[in-house]
Copies of this chain bind each other. A is one copy, B any other.
């Protein structure tokens, strides 16, 4: 059920092994909020590691908001909160599986067609260039959870044109084809349900929606995907942890340019 079974993994570095063990021990309750972790020296011994990887692991756990660290004292566990893995951010299917729910989908349409202005700007292609776009209702245990609007440049989208998009995760297909998803920027905003959103989600038009815009890139910064997910705000919320001394990879910013425009559907 975990992501290890379904998504490719890279070889772990030493600090990643340490992080994985400590994160698991926090999540299974071995360490609880307020508990102190073993000292740096003890962790070095436990993981047969030099200080570098242990310190790197502590820095990253601090960045995640899981622990508080400080010179001359032991690290303290702050929260048991789970963090978002890359795959569960990229793929609603992966996210639902991580919640113990059965992912499902009902494709409204999928099309290969010329990019409209907004889609072209987000995908950084020329307006009128062919892209593959899709509208799906996503289900969690057979209940509507999100309206998914997604667009891919043609060379990425071609991989899913002959895939049955009702049958499972398109990101699973794309990863299998070697598409190299490396970074994701999300924009979280609020909006009122349109008639189409409301019909698909089974709620009243004008209900509040939590909206996640998503742009995914490869290592060279090429745009691989532009997506718009709309969730009934009654169903869920986004949670973020921040710890003093560590920048949080999230920021609240006034709207500007086209980044928050609706994709055409």
Q: Which residues of A contact B (CB under 8 A)?
A: 10, 15-16, 23, 33-34, 51-52, 55-56, 59-60, 63-65, 68, 70, 76, 78-79, 81-86, 88-89, 95, 99, 181-192, 206, 208-212, 217, 219-221, 231, 233-255, 260
Contacts and interface: CB of A to CB of B under 8 A. Distances in A.
Nearest to A70: B219
Contacts of A212: 252
The residue among A55, A68, A252, A254 with the most chain B CB atoms within 10 A of its own CB is: A252
Contacts of A95: 252
Nearest to A209: B190
Given A84-B250, A235-B254, 15 more contacts: A65-B185, A76-B219, A76-B221, A78-B183, A79-B185, A82-B253, A83-B249, A84-B248, A181-B244, A190-B190, A190-B211, A234-B255, A236-B252, A236-B255, A237-B253
A188 B188 contact: yes
A182 B68 contact: yes
Given A56-B55, A241-B185, A244-B86, A249 B65 contact: yes
A60 B210 CA distance: 29
A249 B240 contact: yes
What is the oligomeric copy number? 2
A122 to B, nearest CB: 14
Contacts of A242: 84, 86, 89, 183-186, 249
Nearest to A33: B221
A183 B55 contact: no
A211 B247 CA distance: 21
Nearest to A61: B247
Contacts of A15: 59
B220 A239 contact: no
Closest 10 interchain pairs by CB? A190-B190, A190-B233, A83-B247, A189-B237, A188-B238, A52-B52, A190-B208, A241-B249, A84-B251, A240-B250
A76 B249 contact: no
A34 B252 contact: no
A86 B23 CA distance: 23
Contacts of A245: 10, 16, 86
A189 to B, nearest CB: 4
A239 B251 contact: yes
A240 B249 CA distance: 6
